[in-house]
Amino acid sequence: MNTEILGIIAMFVTTVLFAIPFGKYMAKVYGDEKTLLDPILNPIERIFYKVSG
């Protein structure tokens, strides 16, 4: 029972910790601003666009 409660608390804390940075990243992506992951993800995105047409 304690491990289930600890797992729920850990998942909640992890979600809260990642919510703000991930939200800021998404705002930059949708605002067409440059992000830290652009050099890594842009080539992958281009491959997906070429494959899907």
Residue 30 C-beta-side C-alpha neighbours within 13 Å? 6
Tell me: the pLDDT tens digits for 12-46? 999 999 999 999 999 999 998 999 889 999 999 99
Cα separation, 33 vs 27, in Å, equals 9
Question: What is the value of pTM for the model shown?
Answer: 0.63
Q: Which residue has the tokens 């070429």?
A: 50
Domains in the chain: boundaries: 18-53
Cα separation, 36 vs 52, in Å, equals 25
DSSP state, residue 34: -
Cα separation, 16 vs 46, in Å, equals 32
